[in-house]
Chains A and B, each alone.
Chain A
Amino acid sequence: MKLYAWGALAQGVVLESVRRKDLWVVAILGFLIMMAAGTLGFFGMQGLQIFVKDLSVSVLGMFSTIVAILTAARMLPDEIKQRTLYPLLARPISRFDLIIGKTIGSVLVSWIAFLVLAALTGIALLTFHVKFEPIMLQYLLCKMMGLALTCSLAVALSAYMTPAAGATMSFILVFGSSMITRATMMAYIGAAPELKPVIRIFTAIFPEFTLFDLGGRVANLNWAPVPVWVVLFLFGYMFFYSSSFLGLAWLKFRRQAV
């Protein structure tokens, strides 16, 4: 394992993101959140706390996912398009190292964006005396694992598709994950017996991104933190699927003519 190389590549992605002013977008979104919170303050926060918390975690999850996908989906294609890949590959690193390092970088960018947005949202909500329960910490942790999985998916898809197509497919899979899973499970009940095993296999393979979103528990009152085994399971789930996605990306990228 070339941890030093991965670290250097990841650092490059973060610096590139700062240089491209991607994180400015996050700051602007944060400002919009504050403005929106101010508008809601017009109605008085009494009784609106749950609604505001719900809205906050939804916006937080949505914006950070957008940043994650847009950062991850364009990394490899941009390196190829701008021909900056050649000097990178001239160094003693493999294509596998490149994928891992770049993915770590995109995960870090999405985490920075997420934490900045979370901090701004937290400040906005504290202004209105809206309090979060301890489960908020688990929400942050699980969401960060979910963002890592999202970045891996976007990197994998960008290896097989154009950046735009990869990003679009990632959006569909990540934002549509809940709907696809629920619809599949509803279809299972009325499905013909010969179709049922197919549906079961599909459900088992299809990654459920919504498992990393504890927003429903955070927004509403008196939900206990999730058990430790669930967090550990989610870590394993993220590791397995991220490895699979990055493996798929590497299978394509290792033979790709650049």
Chain B
Amino acid sequence: MKAHLLLISVLGGAGAFSLNAGNVTPIVNPPVRVSGLDAHDGSAAASLLGQFRTNNSAWLWVHTDQYLHNGVHMRPITDAERKAGIQIEGPRADSVIYKEVSITLVPSPERDYRGIVGDVDRAVNAWKPMKNHTHNDPMQTLPLFRLMTWLDPQFIDGWTTGASVLARDRSPAGTAKAMKLLNEGLAQNPDSVDILTEIAYLDITRKNDLNGAIPLLEHARELGFSHLGTIADNERDALENTYHWLALCYRDTNRPLDERRVAAQGIGAFPDDKVLPHLLAGTAPGDSAKEADSMRVGGE
């Protein structure tokens, strides 16, 4: 009897919900740029194809890291390993491409209890001691970025990191190539805070064109701030950078009111930020083009 009542209640509830389904307004349904698997969530077929594309681009992304290390697999260090006193096997200071908090997947001799099997494992795999390691020339990985953005044009990191690699060549030609890639990415992802900010970053650091960067950063700030609660993590990091550079650009173009307005909004969005309070107080001295590199959230 109880089961019947329960069943009737459930069916009744489901019926009432379905009758009202047309009136339900999603609380969170912003016209926000989506990334990752959600980017291809239009239909079952599109989703399946999208997952295939996203998986492939993610696979390429992982392999890009591996190629930079000449095949040596790296993995993040675990909390247990940290507690056990294991040190990360980080890059040499002059070889830093991006932040690495990792150790080799094939364990080094001091982490390995397998004896001769461990020695053989290290001999047959692409393994070498990676403390203070260097990287292969990132330019070698450019075709992979081209491939991953072709497979998945919504993969923002592919566009921005590819452009970063190109922009390591600080000549006008290198900058032009990076700009071209970013603009291509922007055409595919017009609402990407990260790509807009990256273009502005090149305007600031390579062309010293603050007035050219400000509209891009303003657009990125508006996009990011209006979807603050729903944007992806990488976009969120980019938005934090957007606030830094926009405030710096306003400071260096003698617009202190705009500088403070942007800094105040940025502090509201990122209360833990260390840079924005200085900009709000007007105590951040220096040159925005030089500071942009050092203030970058998440590394290059």
Interface residues of A (CB under 8 A from B): 43-44, 46-48, 50-51, 54, 142, 182, 185-186, 188-190, 200, 203-204, 208, 210-214, 216-217, 219-223, 226-227, 230, 233-234, 237
Contact = CB atoms under 8 A, between A and B. Distances in A.
Nearest to A213: B124
A156 B124 CA distance: 27
B67 interface: yes
Nearest to B83: A190
Contacts of B140: 47, 50
Contacts of A182: 105
B113 A188 contact: yes
Interface string B158-202: 000000000000000000000000000000000000000000000
Contact of A44 (B86, B125, B126, B143): B143
Interface string B123-137: 111100000000000
Interface stretch (B4-12, B89-97, B114-122, B260-268): B114-122
A185 B120 contact: no
Given A50-B140, A217-B124, A200 B80 contact: no
B78 A221 contact: no
B122 to A, nearest CB: 10
Nearest to B70: A220
B115 to A, nearest CB: 9
Interface of B: 60, 63, 67, 70-71, 73, 78, 80-81, 83-84, 86, 105, 107, 111-114, 116-117, 120-121, 123-126, 139-144, 146-147, 150
Contact of B63 (A44, A51, A217, A226): A51
Given A44-B143, A48-B144, A214 B124 contact: yes
B107 A47 contact: no
A227 B123 contact: yes
B126 A189 contact: no
B80 A217 contact: no
Contact of B144 (A51, A189, A208, A212): A51
B246 to A, nearest CB: 36
Most buried by A among B111, B120, B150: B120
A223 B143 contact: no
Contact of B112 (A185, A204, A217): A185
